[in-house]
């Protein structure tokens, strides 16, 4: 069953046509795919990775992977869902690599005298709202609230059951509404009600 692609809603048929052309060897057609999705994928990667530089690198890496793996794409799911799935897994890989680097840095710092430690690395805590969320929570929020994917499409991207994602989203929504209420703030209208 072929689905309408929410990421390409302003370009009906254009993405499918571009995908078909790339599969037949037309490299230039891939520029269309990049043009339509580059900004969305950058935003998505940025909110997961929480770094402009890492997000920029991730976008390039994701599109290289998509180009190489385009033969594996099946039209059972929308192209944008497949693209976001590639981006999601790439970002998770980057986070794992970052955690390994942080662990190595931490071990190194423990072995070094205090006088030689960089005070800038001492406590890199950021207070931005999205930084308080886990990568999975950020991903849920972005896909549901920002990109407005259905739970079924989110399940395809995150390789989870839609019912499980719905429950996780509902718990996250309640947690965020409660947190905002405790801080005396107002919740965004899409978070104040369940979708």
Angle between helices 79-111 and 52-69 (to 10 degrees): 130
The pLDDT of residue 103: 59
User: How far is Cα 20 from Cα 103, in angstroms, rounded to an integer?
Assistant: 44
Residues 6 or more apart whose CB falls under 8 angstroms from that of 100 comprise: none
> What is the token pair recorded at 94?
């980057």
- Residue written as token pair 């033969």: 71
C-alpha 150/C-alpha 165 separation (Å) is 10
Among candidate residues 148, 174, 179, 152, the one with its CA nearest the CA of residue 164: 152
pLDDT classification of 125: cutoffs 50, 70, 90: very low
Predicted model pTM: 0.59
Instruction: Report the pLDDT value the prediction gives residue 175, as an integer from 0 to 100.
Output: 83
Tens-digit pLDDT profile for residues 22-67: 999 999 999 999 999 999 999 999 999 989 999 999 999 999 999 9
CB 55 within 8 A of CB 69: no
For residue range 101-114, list pLDDT tens digits in order. Answer: 665 555 544 554 44
């Amino acid at each position: 069953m072929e689905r309408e692609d929410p990421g390409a809603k302003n370009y009906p048929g254009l993405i499918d046509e571009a995908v078909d052309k790339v599969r037949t060897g037309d490299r230039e057609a891939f520029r269309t795919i990049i043009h339509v999705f580059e900004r969305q994928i950058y935003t998505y990667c940025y909110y997961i990775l929480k770094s402009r530089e890492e997000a920029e690198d991730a976008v390039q890496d994701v599109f290289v992977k998509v180009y190489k793996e385009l033969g594996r794409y099946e039209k059972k799911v929308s192209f944008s869902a497949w693209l976001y799935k590639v981006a999601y897994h790439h970002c998770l890989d980057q986070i794992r690599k970052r955690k390994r680097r942080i662990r190595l840095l931490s071990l190194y710092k423990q072995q070094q005298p205090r006088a030689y430690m960089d005070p800038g690395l001492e406590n890199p805590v950021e207070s931005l709202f999205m930084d308080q969320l886990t990568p999975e929570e950020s991903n849920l929020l972005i896909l549901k609230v920002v990109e407005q994917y259905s739970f079924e499409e989110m399940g395809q991207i995150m390789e989870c059951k839609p019912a499980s994602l719905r429950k996780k989203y509902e718990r996250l929504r309640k947690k965020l509404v409660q947190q905002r209420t405790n801080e005396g703030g107002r919740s965004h209208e899409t978070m104040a009600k369940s979708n």
